[in-house]
Amino acid sequence: MEPFVRFDTLKEEQAVLRLDNVSKNFGGVVAASDICIQLFRGEVFGLIGPNGAGKTTLLNILGGMDALTEGRVILDGKEISGYNARQLTD
């Protein structure tokens, strides 16, 4: 009989989505600062916070609506930092 797969062993696989030190500034206003996230296949992830915490800004960066100021976004092993919405859908 096969043993159950332990959750912590799944972390050895490559993250589906990874944000490395992502930041976004609008002029002198810091909307998001130094965000680091790794999402793995099968995970459920919630993004919560108060008004003005940068939730929408982060989603706009991931969707190509806003360019990030610093950091990297990696999707399925490919860096997509700076891609616009059209490039993400091609």
Q: How confident is the model over 38-78, as pLDDT tens digits?
A: 999 999 989 999 999 999 999 999 999 999 999 999 999 99
pTM over cut 0.85: no
**50-55 long-range Cβ contacts below 8 angstroms, 24+ apart:** 54/24
Structure tokens at 28: 């002198």
The strand pairing partners of 79, in sequence order, are 74
Q: What digits encode the pLDDT tens for the residues 22-39?
A: 999 999 999 999 999 999
